[in-house]
Amino acid sequence: MNWLVYIILCTDDTLYTGITNDIKRRLVQHSGRAAGARYFRARKPVRVVYIERGHTRSSASRREAVIKKMRRSDKERLILSEGNEIHDCIAE
């Protein structure tokens, strides 16, 4: 259970949701050209705004799908919620 779900704020003010088991590696990939998501070809990541830990690969994928279907206002509430573990992960 070392997978996490994350949300990244992009330069065009959109919110990208993804999963990983290594957030630092994934951010480097998103910032580069080759290994990052296709989504970042037209926009650049600004910063991680949400992290939710404690998932298996399967549960992280399911949670990602749920978040992607949310309206922006719901995602913004999620980002501001006490469940956001971003501060815990950044310190590691």
Please give the residue range of the domain that contains residue 57: 3-91
Average pLDDT over residues 3-11: 94
Looking at residue 42, its pLDDT comes to 80
Q: Distances from the Cα of 17 to the Cαs of 38, 49, 51, 78, in angstroms?
A: 13, 10, 10, 12
Say if residues 63 and 18 touch (Cβ distance below 8 Å): no
Query: What is the count of structural domains for the chain?
Result: 1
Highest mean pLDDT out of 31-35, 43-47, 58-62 = 58-62
CATH number for 10: 3.40.1440
Q: The pTM is what? A: 0.88
Tokens of 9: 């704020």
